[in-house]
Amino acid sequence: MVVEPKVRDFICTTAHPIGCRENVKQQIAYTKKLGTVDGPKKVLVIGSSTGYGLASRITAAYGCQAATLGVMFERAASGKRTATAGWYNNLAFEQQAQQDGLYAKTINGDAFSQEVKDQIIQIIRQDLGQVDMVVYSLAAPRRTMADGTVYRSVLKTVGEEFKNKNLDLKNRQVTEACIPPASEEEIEATVKVMGGEDWMDWMKALAEAGVLASNSITVAYSYIGPALTHPIYYNGTIGMAKKHLYQTSIDITEQLRDLGVKAYISVNKALVTQASAAIPVVPLYITILYKVMKEKGLHEGCIEQMNRLFREKLGKGNAVVDSDNQIRLDDYEMKPEIQQEVMKYWDEISSETIDQMADVDGYWEDFYHMFGFQIDGVDYTQDVEL
Ligand code: NAI
């Protein structure tokens, strides 16, 4: 079957198996080119199939020669329906890793469930003994509890309504977004889904089962960003969840002190991923940011960010952190000279000037790449096996 992109709202409902494989290959090649580095040897990545989690896994495997275990929530192909991009990415990663003599296994299931936690513990016991690093890189829209209760995360403000510029990506028009404030229940639900409760559950379950090595590290990903996005991000519902995640990093370190576990938050750069495309206001900010960072030669994607995390920030025993004990991979994004330029464009930008002041093409390029489309060297006219 010839597979074409079918874009609906913030997602593409098809994915290209060969393109996704190529995408994974390029990330592996980038990592290999940087050489190997001392680091964790047995790594569990929760949310391992796309975005930051996939890049973390590739870096651990090809940068540190680590055995990797992944957890993802992806859909296989059925009939004429393609699999999700994450499913193809994972297949490509596992095949390549096995060819290269690197241990790689993945569970496709709900990371929030006890069942998946038990399965992972079983595999670690059987195959690896213990893990020395846990990456928590979930971006989930909902969480189902053991009793069947479902919490759904929302992207809203907290307190007041927020109006600001927004990008209609399809029509390349600058419009206005008006984001309503969330109710108490919505805030609570978002914290349940994207906060740290499940991260803590994972760490406790692993520690209690004896499959977490002493002095191991765990890292979860967060975002802060400039004041302009604070109402929708940092001070919005997702930000409330991220504050909970941050507090959880402190709690994990405290509660697993006897085992010498260190938990960190890594504050990453804003990037086009399946999770970030759905946030209002943020895509316009990202297109301007891409433009400015590319001009200054400071642009990075997930794989560049994660290589910097493993090679420069994790350190031996003690990570390189700011005064709040957070790893800052948003250091380039937040440089004053970058932010000043972004803010200047933000104030001036309109539908007429969008192409001079923002990198909309770069946004779409990343967007299509996520689903395995528009990748150099892939012949999209060919029939492919789904
Ligand atoms: P993504 O959407 O690319 O990846 C999410 C991963 O979670 C996928 O592997 C998916 O299969 C998995 N997943 C989702 N629900 C699951 C479930 N119930 N059970 C098991 N696996 C599940 O997202 P992205 O952007 O890589 O986000 C990862 C983390 O990084 C998030 O915490 C996000 O807030 C954070 N982050 C993202 C930034 C961005 O600009 N994209 C910036 C800074 C932080």
pLDDT digits (tens, 9 = 90+) for 188-209: 999 999 999 999 999 999 999 9
The protein residue with its alpha carbon nearest to ligand 1, atom 44, reads 222
Inside any domain, residue 384: no
User: If you average pLDDT over residues 51-69, what whole number do you get?
Assistant: 98
Assigned domain for 163 exists: yes
pLDDT at residue 317, as a whole number: 73
Residue 184 lies in a domain: yes
Mean pLDDT for the chain?
96
Catalytic residue among 30, 88, 221, 233: 233
pLDDT of residue 254: 98
What is the band of 274 on the pLDDT scale with cuts at 50, 70, 90? confident
Confidence of residue 24 (pLDDT cuts 50, 70, 90): very high
Separation CA 169–CA 298 (nearest Å): 24
C-alpha 163: how far from chain center: 27
CA of 250 to the centre of ligand 1 (A): 21
Within-domain flag for 379: no
pLDDT at 374: 97
Number of domains in the chain: 1
What pLDDT digit, counting tens, does each position of 309-318 carry?
999 999 877 8
pLDDT-derived band at 145 (thresholds 50, 70, 90) equals: very high
**Cα(322)–Cα(196) distance, rounded to whole angstroms?**
20
Say if residues 263 and 252 touch (Cβ distance below 8 Å).
Answer: yes
Note if 264 is an active site residue: no
Question: In the structure, what pLDDT confidence band is assigned to residue 342 with cuts at 50, 70 and 90?
Answer: very high
Distance 350 CA to ligand 1 centre (A): 31
Q: For a substitution probing ligand 1, which of 273, 308, 331 has the most ligand atoms within 8 Å of its CB?
A: 273
pLDDT tens figures, 351-375:
999 999 999 999 999 999 999 999 9
Mean pLDDT value of segment 133-151: 97
Mean pLDDT of 138-145: 96
Q: Three-state SS for 369?
A: helix
Long-range contacts of 26-31 (CB under 8 A, 24+ apart): 26/375, 27/54, 27/55, 27/58, 27/302, 27/303, 28/58, 28/62, 28/93, 28/96, 30/303, 30/304, 30/307, 31/58, 31/59, 31/62, 31/63, 31/303, 31/307
Taking the CA of residue 143 as reference, the ligand 1 atom at the shortest distance is: 18
Residue of minimum CA distance from atom 1 in ligand 1: 51
**pTM for the model:** 0.98
Query: What does the angle CA 156 – CA 161 – CA 164 come to, to the nearest 5 degrees?
Result: 90
Query: Is residue 56 a part of any domain in this protein?
Result: yes
Mark the binding-site residues for substrate, compressed into ranges: 223
Domain annotation covers residue 383 = no
Q: Is residue 377 part of a domain?
A: no
- Asked whether 27 lines ligand 1 (CB < 6 A), one says no
Q: How far is CA 4 from the centre of its chain?
A: 25
Is residue 334 situated within a structural domain? Answer: yes
Task: Give 169-189 pLDDT, tens digit per residue.
Answer: 889 999 999 999 999 999 999
- 72-109 confidence digits (pLDDT tens): 999 999 999 999 999 999 999 999 999 999 999 999 99
Question: pLDDT value at position 93?
Answer: 98
Cα angle: 28, vertex 317, 103; to 5 degrees: 35
DSSP string, 99-124: HTT--EEEEES-TTSHHHHHHHHHHI
CA distance from start to end of the chain: 8
Annotated binding site: 47-52, 73-74, 110-111, 138-139, 223, 242, 271-273
Give the CATH number of the domain where residue 271 resides: 3.40.50.720
Residue-number span of the structural domain to which 179 is assigned = 7-370
The length of the chain in residues reads 386
